[in-house]
Structure 1
């Protein structure tokens, strides 16, 4: 390994994978069962930079719903080593708010520590409702890169989008929605999975929220959830270190190569979720 930090990360990843494998063999079932009354009843699985924070904030205002104390607990993956007590304590056993949810966008990533996330969720929570919030793939990539660039000096420049392995895995592959959707379809029945686009949520917030509320078993009443009939605007482009990061520019070549990579997956996703192939414009 190149450094003590690399060695430490590798060891932590190995330990995490080891414990997840034990969990899937049923060796943690008794522990998880102790906290059944505080575990999530629904999960938002992504995608990153698709207004998941705004959605969870709105849902958290509903009188029947509570959202995890930590933003993006990432328990069914990277943070599994924190243990079931830590995860359960993200919520309260509150009979007045029986619906509990969390949003971890890394659940729909290609990172190795999330490779078995769908199976792990299903094993412990069963066929709970899953919400997959997605955005125009190119707009999501732009926002994701800007977010990372603003927070880390190690983020490669935008023109290396398809050449830098970390950038491609972290930013580009998160826009391969059908690939991620299929991972969950292997474990969850169709009626347990709902996809919503950021564009639908932005242009039709009330009807989209009512659809989500009905899906997770809450009263479909949007009273008090919106701000001036719109979703609460959180994590804007200027926050979290991004205020000094200009929106990236696409070269013609990079844009076309990225479209060639992503568009077939996007069209399969749109078809599988009953949306027309013209949902997103690629010009």
Structure 2
């Protein structure tokens, strides 16, 4: 028997059909109940547009019993209520899915954060260094280490250990226990500038780890000699003659003076190249590091295989001192070449003699490392 619908029924059902169609369409991409809702929307559209087909459509889609005599307003109201409940349940399911996705997203972020910050969820242990700043004295080794410490994947040993020049007889286990605790993914590093000139250091470090990375920071050798003299003189441990009297002997550069020997870079480098390939060594321009630290630090970062982290935000220029300082450092660590010590006044003639003396050593050094520095 055909269902008899009033005009009021048709208007209500047309509106409901359109509403359900829009609702379902907006949710189709994740709804597992899509088919049932679309069928319901199509069914109610057919109420309005084809009375003759209504019974067959409702029966085939399962919304009405096989035998039905009449659809009352109460029946329509009940059907609307059922569909509202269905939509409400669907919304709850969607919200639950969204919540689950949110939880998964937070968990994923934690995993990614842990990958970027290897210290999360790991136990720190003391291990032998994977990199060493081996020198050179009075070229900025401390500043270099302090800047490297700003990187979260660097575990830097604070005081100079002097294992390979003074404490080698204590053994590798003692050396390991001097290192800063680190976690997997971090690079343990120490610096002892005297290693560069220690004859046995290349052999002993190679024996410990033949794949270790070595960082060498150098500067103008003449300036380095003056800085070296200034530091020793400032300590006042022993009476030291004036700079010219100390560095010259009978008008010539005193090659027995240790500060002069240290600045003969090529002489010491050859021992290192006897044990390590040049690819495992990186040479930092100490003069450029003080004048503009970021470019030099990015090179060190790449050499050590560290993720990109150090940026201009790590430094600020101090107009009062005329040097760059580490940003956010409570102790205001600035990259002053003299560390506040006043260098002695040196005559132009003495400086020229030193420059002439070091020039052939510099040229040899440049050829050995396939790199040039802007030294006079």
TM range (shorter): 0.7 to 0.9
Q: Which moved more, 1:87-96 or 1:226-235?
A: 226-235
Structure 2 gaps of 5+ residues are: 1-124, 318-323, 327-333
TM-aligned CA deviation for residue 97 of structure 1: 5.6
Shift in Å, 1:235: 7.0
* 3-state SS, counterpart of residue 148 of structure 2: helix
Tell me the SS of whatever aligns to 1:50. Answer: coil
Please state how far the C-alpha of 1:100 moved relative to its aligned partner: 0.7
Give, in angstroms, the shift of residue 125 of structure 1.
1.6
Q: Choose from 19, 32, 52 the match for 2:141.
A: 52
- 1:3-152 → structure 2 map (5 Å cutoff): 38-70=127-159, 72-95=160-183, 98-109=186-197, 114-152=198-236
Q: How many residues align?
A: 235
For normalisation by structure 2, the TM-score amounts to 0.56
CA shift at 1:92, angstroms? 4.0
Aligned to 2:215, what secondary structure does the other structure show?
strand
* Matching of residue 210 in structure 1 with residue 210 in structure 2: no
The 1-side partners of 2:231 and 2:237 are apart by 12
1:198 partnered with 2:286: yes
Q: In 2 relative to 1, CA 63–252 (structure 1 residues): closer, same or farther, beyond 3 Å?
A: closer
Q: 1-side partners of 2:259 and 2:221: how far apart?
A: 10
| Alpha carbons 2:278, 2:369 under 8 Å: kept | no
Distance 1:267 1:61, change over 3 A: same
Measured after TM superposition, the shift of residue 236 of structure 1 is 5.8
Structure 1 residues 156, 41: CA separation in 2 closer, same or farther (over 3 Å shift)? farther
TM-score normalized by the length of structure 1: 0.73
Deviations 1:132-183 (A, max 9, x none): 1001111111111101110133244312214499994421111111112211
Q: Quick one: distance in 2 between partners of 1:207 and 1:236?
A: 18
* Gap regions ≥5 residues in structure 1: 1-35
RMSD: 2.8
Q: What is the aligned partner in structure 1 of residue 355 from structure 2?
A: 259
Deviations 1:208-242 (A, max 9, x none): 21211121121132048832274542576355xx4
For 2:171 and 2:336, the matched residues in 1 are separated by: 28
Query: Larger Rg: 1 or 2?
Result: 2
Q: C-alpha offsets along residues 1-40 of structure 1, whole Å, 9 cap, x if unaligned?
A: xxxxxxxxxxxxxxxxxxxxxxxxxxxxxxxxxxx96111
